[in-house]
Amino acid sequence: MKKVVLLILTMAVIFSLVMCGCSGSRGVGDAGISLAEFNKIQVGMAWSDAEAIIGDGCQGDKMSENENKDNDIITTVMVYRYKGETKGYAEIEYTATRENKPLGNHTNYKVTAKHDYDLE
C-alpha cells in the first residue's frame, strides 16, 4: 500500500513539474515582448506600428479570429499572444472593418485591447 501511495505522489510531482514547464511562463529572450515594449503600445495604434515596437523577431500566435457581418460593414477581430522576453506573455486584440461588398475598402487593423500577464 505504501508503494502505491508513493508511486501516486511521485507521478503527481512529475506531472506538476511538466505542466509548470509547459505553461509558457518562461521567457524566450529577444524573440519575445518586454513590459517596456508592451507599455508603448496604445489602443487605436495601427497594427504595423505595434509590430514595429515589438520587433521583427517576436512572432505572435493567433489565438482567435472572429468576423461579424452587420448590414454594410464587416468587422474582423483577431487576438494574438506574444511570449515575454523573460517571463509571462501579452495578448493584443486587433480589429479592422470594411464595407460588405466585393473588394470593399479594408481599413488597417488597429489595436483595440491589450493585456499583459506577468511581463517584466
Span 35-55, pLDDT tens digits? 999 999 999 999 989 989 988
pLDDT of residue 93: 95
Domain span at residue 50 reads: 2-117
41: left (phi over 0), alpha (psi -120 to 50) or beta: beta
Count of Cβ atoms closer than 10 Å to residue 42 Cβ: 11
Coil, strand or helix at 107: coil
pLDDT single digits (tens) 22-33: 344 566 767 789
Distances (CA, A) of 117 to 8, 11, 86, 92, 104: 32, 29, 12, 11, 37
Residue 70 pLDDT more than 90?
Answer: no
Confidence grade of residue 18 (pLDDT, cut at 50, 70, 90): very low
Please write the tens of the pLDDT for every residue from 72-120.
888 999 999 999 999 999 999 999 988 877 665 556 799 999 999 999 8
Q: Which three cell numbers stand for residue 102?
A: 466585393
CATH number at residue 8: 3.30.1450.10
**Entry pTM:** 0.71
pLDDT of residue 116: 94
Tell me how long the chain is.
120
Give the chain's domain count.
Answer: 1
Half-sphere exposure of 29 (CA within 13 A, CB side): 1
